[in-house]
Every structure is written in C-alpha cells, then in structure tokens.
Structure 1
Amino acid sequence: MALAHESRLNGIRILRRGYNFTDGSDGVGHLDAGLFFIGFMRDAHQQFVPMQRSLAAKDGLNEYIEHTGSAIFACPPGLGPDEHWGQTLFS
C-alpha cells in the first residue's frame, strides 16, 4: 500500500482493512473470489476520494480489478452518560 501511504497523500490517513472472500466457482470453473475493502474515516470526500483518485492514476493492478459496488455508512461514537444511540448524528 505504498501508493496509499500518508506521506504520498499530503497527510491523508484512514484506517483500512482488506478481507479476502471465496464463494466457490460457477459451472465452468471460474472462481468467484475477491477482496472486500473496509475503510474508517471522518470525511469520505476529504479522505477517501483523493486517495482513490491517486491510486486510480498510479496503481499497476488496475487492469486486473473489477469494481462491483460501494457503500458509505455512518458509525456513531460510543455513548456517554444520559446519551442515546445516534444522538450525535441527529442533533
């Protein structure tokens, strides 16, 4: 992940994890396998988008990659005394 290192991206940092998956093969022997990428960040527009643009321009593996989907989820922080779940997201 040298291309995604913060020193190459003006200090942009995210916590990222990759998880391999294999869902068997189809009837002609093509393996259904790949990588789930999960990244935790405060602002996807300010962190993930610039990182992905940089990787898209320089990553030599791009010709072998097939992107099939994306999603962004909000993960609220922990709860303090007298707080309810999601309070910081909706107040």
Structure 2
Amino acid sequence: MATPRIYADPLKTDDDGRLLLVTRGTRNDLQKYGIVLSDGLEVDFYTDDADDAGVRDDLLFSGVVHFDGELCAWVADIDWSRCRHASDVEVKD
C-alpha cells in the first residue's frame, strides 16, 4: 500500500519558507491515516489544483517534519524545486 499523501496549504509558510502544518485539512488527514508527527519524519503532501481546463491536477511535494518550539507548531522543510503536478508523475506498476 502506498504511503498516503497529507493535505497541506503551500501558502502557509513561516519566514524561513517552511510549511506550517496547521490547517484543518492537514490535521484531518493526519488523524484519518493515523500518522503521528515526529522530528525527522518524511511526509508526502498534496494541495488541490487544476489544469487549464479545470480538471483536477493536484500539486505534490514532500518534506521533513520538525517541531518548532518558538512557533509551538509542526513545520516541514520542503524542497519546493521538486514540487510537481500529479499528471507529471508516472504511474509505476
């Protein structure tokens, strides 16, 4: 079974460009899949998007989770250069 992707809002970042894992959608997916965040955990994320014709084509990105004590929030370091659309990912058998 593939690792589930967790919803995240790429517009919710801190001053260092780290993804803030604070949205309801993120919390709901973590609970739904029974994922407990921990420092160093690698997580695959998605956010809803569409192509020019309006067909759903989610943005996919991955990151490493850390707890930020100053923010009192979980954050993820994302390599934004590797962000891609679901339609760009080849299906592997």
Q: After TM superposition, is the score higher than 0.5?
A: no
Q: TM-score when scaled to structure 2?
A: 0.26
| Bigger strand fraction | 2
| Bigger helix fraction | 1
Q: TM-score when scaled to structure 1?
A: 0.26
The structure number with the bigger radius of gyration is 1
